[in-house]
Structure 1
Amino acid sequence: MLSMIGLIGGLALLIILTMRGMNLLVVAPLCALFVAVLSGMPLFPQLAGEGEVNLIGNYMAGFSGFVAAWFLMFLLGAIFGKVMEDSGAADSVSKWVVTKLGMKKAVLAIVVACAILTYGGVSLFVVAFSVYPMALSLFKQADLPRRFIPAALAFGSVTFTMTSAGSPEIQNWIPIEFLGTSPYAGWEVSLIVAVFMAVFGYWWLKKMITKAASTGERFEAREDDPKVLEKELPNPIAGLIPLVVVLIISFIFHDSLEQSALIVALLGGVIATYLLNRKFFTDFWAAVSGGTLGALIAIGNTAAVVGFGGVAKAVPAFDTAVNAMTNIPGSPLIGGAIAVSVIAGMTGSASGGQAIALPILAPHYMDLGVNPDALHRTVAISSGALDSLPHNGYVVTTVRAICGETHKAAYGAVGALTVIVPLLGLALAIILFSFGLGI
């Protein structure tokens, strides 16, 4: 009983402290300590028997294991995003989309710009930073309530693109190691689900904005609003080509190199960006350094939460919870989806939730004969649902740091589009797989 209180209390504490803006590198170990103490776990290796669980050992095993497995992907992904940003390639693609769709479809233009950049492998955070100034300008010209900008950015980035088949985002690649699949696993179902989420989510976003505007909400300018910099940008084609290079290389090498194909693909994207847009760089090596720092922060925060999960999954209450979720009657895909989604919600990280859940769930479900492609796609989609609760790092950064909004004003729309819409997409995916589609 105390162990369950510790597990639930530790999660609640993690959410509360993160919502208050505390650093995850500090918060996660503190919350892990809370879980360990209430579960009677020894705090130091010296206080435990050889091979027995302990707070320091389990926390650092989770932390370092995640860094060892994913550092190069985070590093190259962040560098690719920064060189796309510094060269103006990301802005060029975004402005091209906006120009083609026009002012009357301002919200759609923002969503599409984010989707193209995200599916091309640009870091979610870089996409938000890159598209926000243009989103602000469009919302101002269209006189739309600015509190919906975070929802538009998040919807285009973390719903129908991040976890879809073929996406070079890390959330689509983690299952490969545990299931022996490819990034295109379950692509038929993935395509249907992505179209559903895109169409339904856009309709809902427009409905929320229209309703707010009809009650008198208008755009409110602020003194510190960023200006869209008027500098010479590359040709949009030169901005799109590196995104295509990432997708093509990952497709060519995914069978032979598996996860490592993403390293080659992102490196190819960096090289292509430099070769095609080198005269537009403000400072290439400064962009590389900025990407490196961003990668360290991103993987550090995620690994900190994975470390918390490393402690959480070693306490008795965790086994009880996982057993309950994996023995849910009906399709095994339902149990897997619930388990991954709940753990991703606990950790506030889709990638962290997968890294914690899959080593436990994959062998169990593979032994039951579950189709690995179906499990891969179900796990990927489910990880992108409850991970977007208010304490998620991307949500906090986008709502507060980038858009300057409060959770009270902006999170309702963000939560609707990044939690509820993916959950509906997940339900659709399970139904389609249950009827044998894509298997």
Structure 2
Amino acid sequence: MLSMIGLVGGLALLIFLTMRGMNLLIAGPLCALFVGVLSGLPLFPQLVGEGEANFVGNYMSGFSSFVTSWYLMFLLGAIFGKVMEDSGAADSVSKWIVDKLGMKFAIFAIVLACAVLTYGGVSLFVVAFSVYPMAISLFKEANLPRRFIPATLAFGSVTFTMTSAGSPEIQNWIPIEYLGTSPLAGWEVSAIVAVFMMIFGGWWLKRMISKAVANGETFVSRENDPIVENKELPHPITGLIPLIVVLIISFIFHDKLAQSALIIALLGGVISTYLLNRKYFTSVGKALSEGTMGALIAIGNTAAVVGFGGVAKAVPAFQVAVDAMTSIPGSPLIGGAIAVSVIAGMTGSASGGQAIALPLLAPHYIETGVNPEALHRVVAISSGALDSLPHNGYVVTTVRSICGESHKDAYGAVGALTVIVPTIGLILAIVLFSLGLGI
């Protein structure tokens, strides 16, 4: 009982402190300690046998494993964003979009850029780094409140693209191992759900921003924003080419190198930005330095939350919760959706929700005769719903580290578009599969 109170209370405390703006490098281990103490978890590795769970060992294992896996991608992604910003390439592209499409389409240009990169295989974290310079320029040009930039980036990255059929993102690939399906599993329903999320989410985003503008909100510049007044900008084509380079290289090497393809792709993006726009740079050294510092802050914040998940998964209450979630009676599609969503919410990770639930769900549900393609798509979509609670690593990185916003100002729109919209899309998918579509 105490362990469950610790698990639920620790998660609630982490969300509360995140929303209050506490530094996550403090909030993460503090909340993990709360979970560990109430669960009777030994504090130090020296107090347990080799390989046994303990607070420091499990927290630092989760923290360090994330840094090990993602540091180079975060570093190159942040540097790529900074060189696009410093050279004026991002501003050039944004001005061209506004000139061609008009201010009313500025928001959707950002969403489209994120969607193309995400569906092209670029990591969600890196997409936010890469597109942010263009987003800040477009919002400034259109005089829109900047607190909606995180929601715009997230909507284009983690909703109708991340979990759709054919997506190279890991959230669409994990079920293949357990269900024997393909990345295109349930594509008919997936296409309908993706179109729904895109249209409904786009309308909602536009409505939220229009309401804020009507209430007098405008773009407010900051000291660390790139200064573009009276500065000669490169041609829009030389601003677009580096983005295309990243997309093409990541697509070519994705099957062979998986996420490591991003190292080559982002390096190609940085080099191509420099070669094409080198005469427009204000200070290459400063861009590299700021990109490096931004990457360290971003990966540190995210790893702090991942470390919390490492402790949460080690306590007895977590296994009790998993057993309960994976034993829900009734429709396998509904049970699978609830299980993956809740576990993803507890761990703050869409891929974590799938990786924990599927080994338990898949054999049981396959034996009952559930269509594996339908289960694949439902599980994929459900993993992208409650995972985006305030403590999610992507949310924390995008809101705080990349966009420099507070959860209090920015998370309302982020939550609406990345939790509510995908949840409605999930319900739609279950209904369509239950009616026999795509089966």
Q: TM-score, normalised on structure 2?
A: 0.80
TM-superposition CA deviations, 1:296-339 (whole Å, max 9, x none): 22222222111111111111110111112222345655545444
Matched with 1:363 is 359
Counterparts of residues 40-439 of structure 1 (less than 5 Å): 40-109=40-109, 111-112=111-112, 115=115, 121=122, 122-125=126-129, 127-128=131-132, 130-139=134-143, 151-152=151-152, 154-161=154-161, 190-209=190-209, 217-219=215-217, 229-230=228-229, 231-329=231-329, 332=332, 334-347=334-347, 349=348, 353-354=349-350, 356-365=352-361, 367-368=363-364, 369=366, 381-392=381-392, 411-430=411-430
Shift of 1:282: 2.3
- Aligned counterparts of 2:250 and 2:378: Cα–Cα separation in 1: 21
Matched-pair contact (CA < 8 Å) for 2:158–2:418: yes
Q: How far apart in 2 are the matches of 1:279 and 1:187?
A: 46
**CA 1:251–1:297 in 2, change beyond 3 Å: closer, same or farther?**
same
Query: Once structures 1 and 2 are overlaid, which stretch shifts more, 360-369 or 248-257?
Result: 360-369
Percent identity over the alignment? 75
- Asked if the contact 2:117–2:247 (Cα under 8 Å) also holds between the matched residues in 1, the reply is no
Name the amino acid aligned to 2:357.
Answer: L
Contact 2:353 2:383 in 1 (8 A): no
Query: How far 1:239 moved relative to its partner?
Result: 2.0
For the residues of structure 1 that align with 2:154 and 2:89, how far apart are their CA atoms?
A: 20
Structure 1 distance, partners of 2:187, 2:239, is 26
Asked if the contact 1:117–1:127 (Cα under 8 Å) also holds between the matched residues in 2, the reply is no
Q: Is the 8 A contact 2:107 2:152 kept in 1?
A: yes
How many pairs align?
429
- Paired residue type of 2:291: G
- Tell me, which stretches of 5 or more residues in structure 1 are unaligned? none
CA distance in 2, matches of 1:401, 1:257: 27
Q: What is the Cα deviation at residue 38 of structure 1?
A: 0.7
For residues 79 and 226 of structure 2, what CA distance do their matches in structure 1 show?
Answer: 24
Instruction: Compute the displacement of 1:189 (Å).
Output: 5.4
Question: Which residue of structure 2 lines up, in the alignment, with residue 19 of structure 1?
Answer: 19
| Deviation of the 1:99 alpha carbon | 1.8
Shift of 1:188: 6.1
Pair 155,241 (structure 1): closer, same or farther in 2 beyond 3 Å: same
Question: For residues 157 and 87 of structure 1, what CA distance do their matches in structure 2 show?
Answer: 25
Could you say what secondary structure the match of 1:259 adopts? Answer: helix
Distance 1:254 1:416, change over 3 A: same
Q: What RMSD, in angstroms, separates the aligned Cα atoms of the two structures?
A: 3.9
Paired with 1:12 and 1:379, the residues of 2 have a C-alpha distance of 24
Within 2, Cα distance between the matches of 1:270 and 1:404? 23
Check the 8 A contact 2:88/2:233 in 1, yes or no: yes
Give the SS at the match of 1:50: coil
Mapped to 1, the partners of 2:186 and 2:149 lie a distance apart of 32
| CA distance 1:430–1:252, change in 2 (3 Å) | farther
* 8 A contact 2:82–2:288 mirrored in 1: yes
What is the deviation of 1:29?
1.0
| Cα offset, 1:19, TM superposition | 1.8
Counterpart amino acid of residue 93 in structure 1: V
| In 2: Cα distance, 1:175 partner to 1:234 partner | 44
How much does 1:270 deviate? 2.3
Check 1:46–1:405 CA distance in 2 against 1; reply closer, same or farther (3 A cut).
closer
C-alpha distance after superposition, 1:387-414 (max 9, x if no partner): 4334556656776888888766664444
Kindly provide the amino acid, as one letter, of the partner of residue 266 in structure 1.
L
Describe the shift of the 1:164–1:88 C-alpha distance in structure 2 as closer, same or farther (beyond 3 A): farther
CA contact (8 A) 1:331 1:434 kept: no
Query: 1: distance between equivalents of 2:44 and 2:350?
Result: 27
More moved, 396-405 vs 149-158:
396-405
Question: Structure 1 CA distance, aligned partners of 2:412 and 2:237?
Answer: 36
In the TM superposition, residue 198 of structure 1 has moved relative to its aligned partner by: 1.7
Distance 1:128 1:176, change over 3 A: farther
2-side partners of 1:221 and 1:246: how far apart? 29
Q: Is contact 2:249–2:264 with CA below 8 Å preserved after alignment?
A: yes
CA contact (8 A) 1:150 1:399 kept: yes
